[in-house]
Amino acid sequence: MALPAADESLWLRRFHPRPNAAVRLVCLPHAGGAASSYAPLSALLPPSVQALAVQYPGRQDRRHDTPLESVHELAQAVFEALRPSAGQGPLALFGHSMGASVGFEVARLLEDELGVVPAVLFASGRPAPSLHRSLGIHRMDDAGIIAELQAVSGTDDRVLDNAELLRLTLPSLRSDYKAAETYRYRPGPKLACDIVGLTGDGDNRVSIEEVAAWKEHTAGSFTLQVFPGGHFYLQEQKAAVAGVLTDTLRAATRTGHPLH
């Protein structure tokens, strides 16, 4: 299918502009998630880290754009948005759940097509690319998808209790779940960039071992960070995660600009 235009203004959101940032952190949402899901985390990052939250088509201010149903298509579109400025200073990637798979494929494109090695890939709440799992959620009826949202506690109750909001949200949700569940790893070289795996110790959708398996996909270093909480541990552990991101980026970029 034809991809929508991939200019930065369409795909990337700066909730807290930081013109003197030493590193850009591209944040990729989970299935059904929007750029705004990263606004609280962006607020907790230091002035030297510029968060760029990705807005997938089919939600919020892009609700009239056709959702994409493939991780590879999403990654290609995000890559095209990043391409013009990819070599202009350190760049890191943070993806949660489906967003981690998208981030992995964006990192591959950056390294393979531009020779740009991300400072770090933060892979959160998602099995390693080579481990495939599908619950068949994208093939469920609307009630089944809503039940899944309730099970993982990642959606605002105000959405779940509002029939009109649900009606507007379900098409992009279904497309995202299809992208996540039909994603298949394509064998290739390991990433040159470091990877940090993050997960909640009570995640009922992803095991700690499945997140630890990300170490097989980097020729650089791998670190595993486990936080209290479930699949959406990030909602309660924002400050702790922001601390890990800041410390890791300070060590990885070594730009001479303190991240404080």
CA distance 24 to 10: 17
Local confidence band at 138 (pLDDT 50, 70, 90 cut-offs): low
pLDDT digit string, tens, across residues 194-218: 999 999 999 988 999 999 999 999 9
Nearest to 30 by CA among 92, 95, 103, 78: 95
Owning domain of residue 217: 8-253
* Domain-located, residue 259: no
Least confident window among 20-24, 68-72, 98-102, 143-147: 143-147
At 53 the three-state DSSP class reads strand
Q: Provide the pLDDT for residue 48.
A: 95
3-state secondary structure 202-248: CCCCCCHHHHHHHHHHECCCEEEEEECCCCCHHHCCHHHHHHHHHHH
Tell me the mean pLDDT in the region 148-174: 65
The yes-or-no verdict on residue 254 having pLDDT over 90 is no
Tell me the mean pLDDT in the region 73-89: 95
Show Cβ contacts of residue 82 under 8 Å, excluding neighbours closer than 6 positions.
Answer: 8, 26, 91, 106, 110
Q: Catalytic: which of 30, 72, 217, 231?
A: 231
Q: Provide the pLDDT for residue 144.
A: 73
The CATH number of whichever domain residue 131 belongs to comes to 3.40.50.1820
Q: Provide the pLDDT for residue 7.
A: 53
Nearest to 11 by CA among 31, 37, 30, 34: 34
Q: Catalytic: which of 42, 48, 97, 101?
A: 97
* Domain-located, residue 260: no
Instruction: Reply yes or no on whether 48 is catalytic.
Output: no
CA distance 128 to 87: 27
Q: Provide the pLDDT for residue 137.
A: 72
Q: Provide the pLDDT for residue 258.
A: 43
* Alpha-carbon distances of 113 from 76, 83, 100, rounded to whole Å: 11, 10, 20
* Domain-located, residue 52: yes
* Domain-located, residue 212: yes
> Strands 194-200, 222-227: parallel, antiparallel or unpaired by DSSP?
parallel
CA atoms within 13 A on the CB side of 167: 3
Q: Provide the pLDDT for residue 134.
A: 63
Owner of token pair 């606004």: 39
Nearest to 200 by CA among 188, 208, 190, 191: 208
Q: Provide the pLDDT for residue 146.
A: 74
Least confident window among 58-62, 75-79, 121-125: 58-62
Tell me the mean pLDDT in the region 62-71: 93
What's the whole-model pTM score? 0.88
Domain count, the chain: 1
Instruction: Reply yes or no on whether 134 is catalytic.
Output: no
